[in-house]
């Protein structure tokens, strides 16, 4: 787990395109805008690589020695709540824990800034995401009709960050 570097923007955008259907995936401009919002941060997960010889797949110069398998963009919100903007893990890397590690790291960073809760949105028909968030103690708090540009409704989910996980 590490902080996003600007030079890897295209890699993150390509991952987003693989993770979400048109109408839900972000344009380059949308993703760039979210990454530049005040209070926003992005964390990146690289696959572990035994060839690198260093922890977390990092080379000795601090450059990633392993391919990026996922990322999360979050922001410090107003009124004591954080916001997960997106969490993307390549399909071939799912089920290996990268998503959970990204989510936990983002929650920890938000908690460290005194965020009491975190919210996020997901499509009503994204059953794998809903199952993932339920495992991480998120609950649905409302529905957003036609939230996505393809007309699909969105669900707002929330997690209390002050409660023990």
Domains assigned to the chain? 2-114 (3.40.630.30)
What lies within 8 Å, CB to CB, of 93 at 6+ separation is 47, 69, 70
Distance CA 37, CA 46 (A): 24
Q: Which residues of the chain have pLDDT under 50?
A: 49-62
Give the pLDDT of residue 30.
96
Task: Tell me the average pLDDT of the chain.
Answer: 88
Give the pLDDT of residue 58.
42
User: What's this model's pTM, rounded to 2 decimal places?
Assistant: 0.86
């Amino acid at each position: 787990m590490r902080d996003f570097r600007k030079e890897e923007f295209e890699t993150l955008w390509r991952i987003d395109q693989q993770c979400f259907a048109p109408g839900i995936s972000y344009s380059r401009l949308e993703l760039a805008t979210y990454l530049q919002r005040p209070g926003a941060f992005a964390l990146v997960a690289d696959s572990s690589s035994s060839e690198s010889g260093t922890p977390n797949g990092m080379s000795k110069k601090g450059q990633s020695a392993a391919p990026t398998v996922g990322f999360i963009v979050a922001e410090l919100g107003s009124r004591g709540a954080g916001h997960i903007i997106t969490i993307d893990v390549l399909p071939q890397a799912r089920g290996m824990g990268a998503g959970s590690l990204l989510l936990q790291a983002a929650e920890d960073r938000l908690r460290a800034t005194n965020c009491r809760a975190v919210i996020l949105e997901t499509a009503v028909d994204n059953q794998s995401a809903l199952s993932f968030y339920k495992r991480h103690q998120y609950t649905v708090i409302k529905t957003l009709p036609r939230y996505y540009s393809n007309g699909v409704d969105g669900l707002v989910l929330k997690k209390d960050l002050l409660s023990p996980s």
